[in-house]
């Protein structure tokens, strides 16, 4: 808060001082007081009022400066009131501080409630996924033990359902990445081939041929999440293949490139490219 903003906020007080000075001038003039005494009295009032305004401004400036510094330095995840070092000394500042404390408590309560709801939802989804996998596996087994055109088609649809179930599980876990990530050194080619095996049926039925290049790198990643992301890309490559090309011409290329950005530090880029139609805007 600069001094001009402070003066603007004290407009009523300044107008009152001005009105009092005019009234005093008129009173002393009518009373026949000498001009020197009149102007001396007016100047004295103005100086005292101005000094008082400056003293009040400096006091408030200290509080608001500390408050502004606390807000700028505050962690975005920190609660508001406990992080404020500015100590209120006036009734107005105390009301302001109490309002911040109330807002902080409300935010903390709401955050705790949302975390609890998110945890319950995640636990429910994980339980549901594990439960639903049992009948899906049983249906897969029935289809494999009774080969035929109808059961093969049903088995394909079951694979799609299984993929969607896994997708729901990963999206639910996405709300708690800090607890679900397991970063370790993995071979990039192994993860890519695992994703291809998991989606081989969809790629074969769509006539999409995979081509792998330069994947002999070890990277730091969560293999489970990396395989899930690759699976989503492979599913889209199969789902949105071009219909105007022969099955053998539809392809998805997966390649990697590693560059040294600083001494001993490497960045690996994984590229997944297909010659399909892309995802339509409505999807």
Q: Which of the listed residues 75, 93, 110 is the one where a domain comes to its end?
A: 110
* Span 152-194, pLDDT tens digits: 888 878 888 888 888 887 777 776 655 567 788 999 999 999 9
Within a domain: residue 70?
yes
113: three-class secondary structure by DSSP: helix
If you average pLDDT over residues 128-138, what whole number do you get?
Answer: 84
Q: Is 91 in the same domain as 187?
A: no
Quick one: pLDDT band at residue 85, thresholds 50, 70, 90? Answer: low
197 and 104, same domain (yes or no): no
Shared-domain flag, residues 187 and 272: yes
Residue 188 parent element (H or E): helix 188-198
Q: What is the CA radius of gyration of the chain?
A: 36
Whether 68 is in a domain gets the answer yes
Closest CA to 84 of 64, 106, 109, 105: 64
* Geometric angle at alpha carbon 77, from 67 and 229, rounded to 5°: 150
Q: Which residues contact 220 (CB under 8 A, 6 or more apart)?
A: 183, 184, 185, 186
Buried b (16+ CB within 10 A) or exposed e, 42-60: beeeeeebeeebeeebeeb
The residue from 110, 127, 147 where one domain ends is 110
User: What is the percent of the chain where pLDDT is above 70?
Assistant: 87
- Residue 56, pLDDT score: 82
Q: Decide which of 110, 145, 172 is a domain's last residue.
A: 110
Determine the Cα–Cα distance for residues 177 and 123; give it in Å rounded to an integer: 14
Domain total in the chain: 2
Do 100 and 13 sit in the same domain of this protein?
yes
CA distances from 68 to 1, 82, 83, 85 (A): 9, 14, 12, 10
Report the C-alpha gap between 253 and 211 in whole angstroms.
5
Confidence of residue 266 (pLDDT cuts 50, 70, 90): confident
Nearest to 61 by CA among 15, 102, 4, 14: 4
Q: What is the dihedral of CA 84, 86, 87, 88, to 10 degrees?
A: -100
For 106-115, 133-142, 178-187, which range has the lowest pLDDT when averaged over its residues? 178-187
Structural domain for 227, as ranges: 181-283
Asked if residue 103 is part of any domain, the answer here is yes
pLDDT at 247 over 70: no
pTM comes to 0.54
Q: Is residue 144 one of the residues assigned to a domain?
A: no
pLDDT digits (tens, 9 = 90+) for 31-62: 888 888 888 888 888 888 888 888 888 877 77
Cβ neighbours for 179, distance < 8 A, ≥ 6 positions apart: none
- Kindly report which listed range (23-27, 221-225, 244-248) carries the lowest average pLDDT score: 244-248
Rounded to an integer, what distance in angstroms lies between the CA atom of residue 29 and that of residue 19?
15
From residue 249, alpha-carbon distances to 193, 234, 242, 244, 280 in Å are 21, 16, 10, 10, 21
Worst-scoring range by mean pLDDT, 62-71, 236-245, 250-259, 263-272? 62-71
* 65 has pLDDT over 70: yes
What's the CATH number where 255 sits? 3.30.565.10
CA 98, CA 134: separation in Å to the nearest integer? 55
Q: C-alpha angle with apex 165: 137 to 160, nearest 5 degrees? A: 70
Residue 137, domain member (yes or no): no
The pLDDT mean for the chain works out to 81
Question: Within a domain: residue 238?
Answer: yes
**23 occurs within a structural domain:** yes
List, in sequence order, every residue forming a beta bridge with 267; answer none if it has no partner: 259
**Token digits for 85?**
């070092």
Considering the domain boundaries, does residue 226 fall inside one? yes
């Amino acid at each position: 808060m600069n001094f001009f903003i402070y003066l603007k906020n004290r407009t009523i007080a300044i107008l009152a001082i001005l009105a009092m000075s005019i009234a005093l001038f008129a009173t002393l003039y009518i009373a026949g007081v000498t001009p020197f005494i009149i102007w001396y009295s007016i100047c004295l009032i103005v100086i005292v009022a101005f000094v008082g305004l400056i003293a009040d401004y400096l006091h408030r400036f200290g509080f608001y400066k500390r408050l502004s510094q606390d807000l700028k330095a505050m962690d975005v995840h920190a609660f508001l009131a406990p992080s404020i070092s500015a100590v209120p000394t006036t009734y107005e500042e105390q009301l302001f501080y109490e309002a911040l404390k109330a807002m902080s408590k409300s935010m903390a309560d709401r955050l705790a409630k949302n975390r609890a709801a998110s945890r319950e939802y995640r636990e429910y989804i994980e339980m549901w996924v594990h439960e639903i996998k049992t009948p899906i596996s049983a249906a897969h087994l029935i289809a494999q033990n009774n080969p035929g055109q109808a059961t093969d088609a049903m088995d394909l649809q079951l694979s799609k359902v299984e993929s969607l179930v896994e997708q729901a599980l990963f999206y639910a876990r996405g709300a708690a990445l800090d607890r679900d990530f397991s970063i370790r050194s993995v071979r990039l080619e192994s993860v890519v081939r695992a994703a291809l095996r998991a989606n081989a049926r969809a790629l074969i039925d769509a006539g999409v041929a995979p081509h792998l290049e330069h994947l002999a790198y070890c990277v730091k990643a969560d293999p489970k999440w990396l395989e899930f992301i690759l699976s989503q890309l492979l599913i889209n490559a199969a789902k949105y293949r071009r219909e105007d090309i022969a099955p053998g011409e539809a392809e998805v290329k997966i390649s990697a490139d590693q560059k040294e950005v600083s001494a001993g530090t490497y960045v690996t880029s994984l590229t997944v490219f297909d010659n399909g139609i892309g995802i339509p805007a409505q999807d």
